[in-house]
């Protein structure tokens, strides 16, 4: 089977470090998957993201063993600028990615660098602004926008490159829960509508529990768990410094007291369904 991401026996350590930051990572991701990567601070999530777009080893020096293939290309070898049109990266702090005078210029920047014709650039800018619901911000300065608006602009700028994969490293770290949820819902929509592969590094498990197809837990540079949210969130994650979302936690506790449920729900809406089914049977 052809995977959009294929990582084999990946080990990485930063220059000057005795410790391996990534250890024996094997990971295949299918086109169109929505993958959440989580794990305690310092476990190597950002480092793994840097391996997906060639920043490691091309910008961050160190020792790399194993292979990282994205869309069939060896990202340790091909130029980072070329990978950027395949793998889009969104970081914690959107203002670090926005540097033009208007939103429109920022969103046009990527396609311009791809050397696309003017009418195609315009088409992509219109399309990306429309997808993100920010056409009204077009002529505003990115630096006058709220964090949530800026993050939408940053995602639009990535989308305008029409990448096959979008990697987001804690994109909502500076946003309130409501705005975070609207960004996650938007990612789900892009994932479904465009079959965009989404790789999201996230601590806010509560908000992504019912959106992800797959949850990967990392610890000390290794992948320690990999499964559907339903498989992962019924486990004791405290050993990895994590807390499963409260709905599955509550239902697991109640099951422990002898309450019977048809399944362990992941989010409030599903919990309501489980109760309604239960009360009818
Ligand atoms: N540029 C760098 N040079 C040297 N060591 C680094 C560098 N970046 C990260 N590290 C080290 O690699 C380890 C993993 O860091 P990484 O940023 O990948 O963790 P993380 O899982 O993203 O953490 P967080 O949840 O806090 O963002 C840490 O020990 C960190 O100190
Ligand atoms: Mg990080």
pLDDT tens across 55-98, in order?
999 999 999 999 999 999 999 999 998 999 999 999 988 888 89
Pocket residues: Cβ below 6 A from ligand 1: 14, 17, 21, 39, 41-47, 60
Q: What is the pTM of this model?
A: 0.94
* Residue 267 vs residues 16, 142, 143: alpha-carbon distances, Å: 44, 34, 35
Ligand 2 centre and the CA of 257: distance in Å? Answer: 38
**Can you give the pLDDT at residue 174?**
85
* Per-residue pLDDT tens digits of the chain, which is 281 residues long: 579 999 999 999 999 999 999 999 999 999 999 999 999 999 999 999 999 999 999 999 999 999 999 999 999 999 998 999 999 999 988 888 898 999 999 999 999 999 999 999 999 999 999 999 999 999 999 999 999 999 999 999 999 999 999 999 999 988 888 889 999 999 999 999 999 999 999 999 989 998 999 999 999 999 999 999 999 999 989 999 998 899 999 999 999 999 999 999 999 999 999 988 876 65
In a domain, 65, yes or no: no
Q: Is residue 21 within 8 Å of 13, Cβ to Cβ?
A: yes
In a domain, 73, yes or no: no
**Can you give the pLDDT at residue 97?**
86
The residue contributing the CA closest to ligand 1 atom 27 is 41
Ligand 2 centre and the CA of 212: distance in Å? Answer: 19
> CA 87, CA 199: separation in Å to the nearest integer?
10
Task: State the pairing for strand pair 165-169/87-90.
Answer: parallel
In a domain, 277, yes or no: yes
Q: Is residue 21 within 8 Å of 220, Cβ to Cβ?
A: no
In a domain, 231, yes or no: no
In a domain, 255, yes or no: yes
Closest ligand 1 atom to residue 221 Cα is 14
**Can you give the pLDDT at residue 281?**
56
Closest ligand 1 atom to residue 203 Cα is 25
Residue 269 lies in domain: 245-281
Q: Is residue 186 within 8 Å of 108, Cβ to Cβ?
A: no
pLDDT tens across 9-31, in order?
999 999 999 999 999 999 999 99
Q: Where are the beta strands (DSSP E) in 46-91?
A: 62-70, 73-74, 87-90
Ligand nearest to the CA of 47: 1
Write down the residue that tokens 């807390």 correspond to. Answer: 243
Domain total in the chain: 1
In a domain, 253, yes or no: yes
In a domain, 184, yes or no: no
Closest ligand 1 atom to residue 14 Cα is 4
């Amino acid at each position: 089977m052809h995977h959009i991401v294929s990582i084999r026996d990946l080990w990485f350590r930063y220059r000057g470090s005795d410790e391996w930051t990534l250890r024996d990572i094997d990971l295949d991701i299918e086109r169109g998957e929505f993958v959440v990567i989580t794990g305690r601070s310092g476990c190597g999530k950002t480092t793994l993201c840097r391996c997906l777009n060639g920043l490691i080893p091309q910008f961050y020096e160190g020792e790399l063993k194993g292979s990282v293939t994205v869309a069939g290309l060896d990202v340790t070898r091909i130029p980072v600028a070329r990978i950027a049109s395949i793998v889009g990266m969104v970081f914690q702090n959107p203002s670090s990615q926005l540097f033009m005078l208007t939103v429109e210029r920022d969103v046009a920047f990527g396609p311009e660098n791809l050397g696309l014709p003017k009418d195609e650039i315009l088409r992509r800018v219109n399309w990306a602004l429309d997808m993100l619901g920010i056409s009204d911000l077009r002529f505003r300065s990115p630096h006058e926008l709220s964090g949530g608006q800026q993050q939408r602009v940053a995602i639009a700028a990535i989308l305008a490159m029409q990448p096959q994969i979008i990697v987001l490293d804690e994109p909502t770290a500076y946003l309130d829960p409501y705005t975070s949820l609207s960004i996650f819902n938007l990612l789900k929509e892009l994932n479904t509508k465009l079959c965009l592969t989404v790789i999201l590094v996230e601590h806010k498990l509560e908000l992504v529990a019912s959106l992800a197809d797959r949850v990967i837990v990392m610890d000390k540079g290794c992948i320690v768990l990999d499964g559907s949210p339903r498989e992962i969130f019924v486990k004791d994650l405290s050993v990895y410094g994590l807390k499963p979302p409260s709905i599955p936690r509550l239902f697991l506790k109640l099951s422990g007291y002898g309450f019977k449920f048809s399944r362990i729900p992941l989010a409030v809406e599903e919990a309501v369904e489980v109760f309604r089914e239960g009360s009818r049977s």
